[in-house]
């Protein structure tokens, strides 16, 4: 059964504005804002609106490697607060997790098909979250992106956001000759035929996003046998490794490719890459 056909549209980049010297305006920042960063973000967007041009949009990317799920969750919660108060710009976490099952806010733990007492035997953890969606699995060789971004600044709603997340994974799969599509009605994530290759589960609080997407590069798919993935019964889970004849590059490169797909789909012009693992352990940079 053919699910869909998509033509991916890349965002055209616009030139940065250079018509106004902002140096004198920054003198007012301390009297209005708590810090210079929040002033800069607000000022730049205001000036861009006045002169009818778009500011070059920056995205800070934290490359974190394999991170314990609870550590990543704690970091997301901190970054969401920082983004709400304009202390940081839009930020993207690029990482992987050890074997972990997570349940969404609907608490559908009945879709875990083995007793919780047996999880330790298979080397997996279980965590309850406040994201949308059902139960899913995260593990090594699965590329995960957690965007901490302002949908209000971007001018899009929740539905458009999820569609762009889907397009991010669709474009990634297409780079390796794999045709992926959004699910049919009631089927979340991204699919190759009847097989799911990417999952989405998000949380949006006051216009700021957290949690995100998981794209299967080459995870151990046997872990999915112990759940009803995303609450959709009788459907297979697949991976890029299974679906392509292409030789896959090192996973670090593939995670960077997925980040680049995300940036193109969401219209970011400037990627700021960071690899400071200390943000996971102490919550600071």
* Mode of pairing for the β-strands spanning 208-216 and 195-205: antiparallel
Catalytic residue among 89, 181, 230, 261: 230
261 is catalytic: no
SS3 readout for the chain: CCCCCCCCCCCCCCCCCCCCCCCCHHHHHHHHCCCHHHHHHHHHHHHHHHHCCCCCCEEEEEEEEECCHHHHHHHHHHHHHHHHCCCCCCEEEEEECCCEEEECCCCCHHHECCCHHHCHHHCCEEEECCCCCCCEEECCCEEEEEEECEHHHHCCCHHHHHHHHHHHHHHHHHCCCCCCEECCCCCCCEEECCEEEEEEEEEEECCEEEEEEEEECCCCHHHHHHECHHHCCCCEECCHHHHCCCCCCCHHHHHHHHHHHHHHHHCCCEEEEECCCHHHHHCCC
Residue of 53, 39, 88, 28 whose CA lies nearest to 208: 88
Burial of 69 (0-12, 13-18, 19+ CB in 10 A): buried
Question: Which residues lie below 8 Å from residue 253, measured CB to CB, with a gap of 6+?
Answer: none
Q: Are 71 and 138 in contact (CB under 8 A)?
A: no
Residues tagged active-site: 230
């Amino acid at each position: 059964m053919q699910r869909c056909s998509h033509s991916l549209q890349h965002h055209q980049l616009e030139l940065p504005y250079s018509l106004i010297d902002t140096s004198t305006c920054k003198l007012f920042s301390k009297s209005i804002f708590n810090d210079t960063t929040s002033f800069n973000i607000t000022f730049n967007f205001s000036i861009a609106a006045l002169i009818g041009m778009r500011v070059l949009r920056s995205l800070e990317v934290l490359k974190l490697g394999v991170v314990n799920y609870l550590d990543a969750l704690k970091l997301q919660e901190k970054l969401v607060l920082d983004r709400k108060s304009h202390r940081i710009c839009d930020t993207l976490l690029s990482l992987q997790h050890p074997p972990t099952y997570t349940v969404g806010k609907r608490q559908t733990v009945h879709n875990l098909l083995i007793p919780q007492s047996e999880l330790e035997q298979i080397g997996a953890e279980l965590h309850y979250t406040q994201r949308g969606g059902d139960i899913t699995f995260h593990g090594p060789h699965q590329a995960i992106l957690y965007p901490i971004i302002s949908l209000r600044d971007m001018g899009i709603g929740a539905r458009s956001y999820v569609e762009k997340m889907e397009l991010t994974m669709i474009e990634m799969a297409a780079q390796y000759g794999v045709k992926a599509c959004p699910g049919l009605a009631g089927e979340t994530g991204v699919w190759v035929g009847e097989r799911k290759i990417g999952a989405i589960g998000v949380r949006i609080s006051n216009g700021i996003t957290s949690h995100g997407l998981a794209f299967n590069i080459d995870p151990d798919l046997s872990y999915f046998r112990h759940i009803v993935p995303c609450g959709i019964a009788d459907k297979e889970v697949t991976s890029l490794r299974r679906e392509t004849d292409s030789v896959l590059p090192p996973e670090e490169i593939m995670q960077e490719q997925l980040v680049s797909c995300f940036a193109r789909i969401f219209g970011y012009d400037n990627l700021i890459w960071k690899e400071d693992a200390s943000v996971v352990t102490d919550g600071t940079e």
